Amino acid sequence: MALIEVKNLSYKYPTSKGDVLKNLNFSIEKGEFCSIIGCNGSGKTTLCSALRGFVPNFYKGELNGEIILDGQDMSELSMGELAMKIGYVFQNPFIQISGIKGTVFEEVAYGLENLGVDPEEIKARVEKMFEFLQIEYLKDKDPFALSGGQKQRVALASILVMEPDVLVIDEPTSQLDPIGTEEVFQTIKLMKEMGKTIILVEHKIELVAEYSDHIILLDDGEIVMDGPAKEVLSSENVLEHNTAIPQFAQLCLALKNSGLPVDDVAITEDECINVMEKILTKEAVL
């Protein structure tokens, strides 16, 4: 059984003209890294909000259909229960810092303190998290003195320390430079290695291709493609929905169209190098 099953999900904000999510059906397996892609306004953030229970709970509006989480109808779970099962990381790392804690260590411990967890256990869990995410060196710093990438990694650690099964991460690198982006993806990779189920919204399609197992492409609130990352991101059909495919795939498709013997549409750098090597060997033989 899939960890998350979405059935006939539609949603309308109180002020939107019609449905912004339209009869969505999909499932996500436990431990899967699923990216939601699509152009601006296609419904990605709204879908993340639905998966976290923010719609309709906070935004009100009309939700129809079902989201089944680990066999349980999500509408039957309280916001507190949901928060324990699904962690949500926002686009802007600045708004996630509580502003009341002097060090990164205290900041990451804050959520557990609120739950009344025993101080010794908090210390052990936070220390383990720092070690696992390789951010011990940030422990004693002022959260506000961190770079954008470091703030976002601390935000990820604060969510992860609560031990949710699922992480919904909405454009975590939109405000970061390339180094910050790389750091955040390293952290997300470690989260996948921990066995977490990850649902990511991200525009940087090369990174999406490198890390994702599964892709859902939205256009105007509808799912237009849903499948393994390789299958979706090597398809020219994605372009028809104003969404990019990796530059490696574009290059392979262009070479193929020009008549070269391309036997694979690569979506990652490593795959692309393989394709190039094969072309060069074949060309040399001819």
Binding site for ligand ADP (CB under 6 A): 13, 15-16, 20, 38, 40-46, 59
- Least CB distance from residue 81 to ligand ADP, whole Å? 24
- Least CB distance from residue 54 to ligand ADP, whole Å? 10
DSSP annotation of 18: S
Closer to ligand ADP by Cβ: residue 95 or 285:
95
Whole-number Å distance between alpha carbons of 67 and 75: 8
In terms of phi and psi (left: phi > 0; alpha: psi -120 to 50; beta: otherwise), the region of 65 is left
Closer to ligand ADP by Cβ: residue 28 or 266:
28
Closer to ligand ADP by Cβ: residue 44 or 52:
44
Closer to ligand ADP by Cβ: residue 39 or 84:
39
- Least CB distance from residue 285 to ligand ADP, whole Å? 47
- Least CB distance from residue 40 to ligand ADP, whole Å? 4
Both tokens of 148, joined, read 């954008």
- Least CB distance from residue 12 to ligand ADP, whole Å? 9
Angle in degrees, 0-180, between the axes of helices 119-132 and 148-160, rounded to the nearest 10: 130
Closer to ligand ADP by Cβ: residue 109 or 208:
208
The answer to whether 224 and 25 have CB atoms below 8 angstroms apart is: no
The sheet carrying 33-37 orders its strands as 86-89, 166-170, 197-201, 33-37, 214-219, 222-228
Both tokens of 58, joined, read 């906070």
